[in-house]
Structure 1
Amino acid sequence: MFTKDSGLLQGTLELLVLKTLSWGPMHGYGIASWIESATGDVLRVEEGSLYPALYRMTRKGWIKGEWGTSENNRRAKFYQLTREGERQFREQTTGWERFASAVTSAVGSTRAPAWAR
């Protein structure tokens, strides 16, 4: 599991938040819960990482937050994508897919570099 000290890359967390919010508005706890569930409990986003990311993304204009009432009848800030956030999600998804494919290719390679032969 990844925690705030494990080196989960800032950009990766932002992409996961954007993905979560692509389903619709959600509060912080719901965002963290969805990420954990969607990754099969491999990634756990702690409050100390999530809320600074939400603040950063709000400043960038990717998301906006409004106060509302959660399903537990508690006051919570619900975040949603802006148009810029939707654009960022598309752009970052494409970049992530290219990056993940390249890393998977390198890690799965059976061809040693010339200097190692």
Structure 2
Amino acid sequence: MGGVALIRAAGKNFEDVAVLTSPSDYEGVLAELSAAQCRLSLETRKRLALTGFRHTAEYDTMISGAWAGNTAAAKESGSFPASLESRLVKVQDLRYGENPHQKATLYSSEAG
């Protein structure tokens, strides 16, 4: 068991613990702990769990991508992989979806 397993375990137990995976969260967590008698709200713990799950998902995607191209079958066949993972980031909310009553959002690859 290592860091990724511990992050997932903490995320699954967000009702009782908080998981910090990003230094950008430290200041806000410390401020909330100071203001709320050393307690974090359920909403904060859920948000931190989501950040942790996203962190481990990105890690898993990098590993699976590396392994997909490094198997003997992949090297031998020279073919494209059976699946491909992609990470998209939200660019902006759109005025409406396919129909005016629907919501829509534009996503793009990080590479732009």
Work out which structure has the larger RCO, using CA pairs closer than 8 Å and 6 or more positions apart in sequence.
1
Point out the structure with max Rg over C-alpha.
2
| TM, length-normalised to structure 2 | 0.33
Query: TM-score scaled to structure 1, two decimals?
Result: 0.32
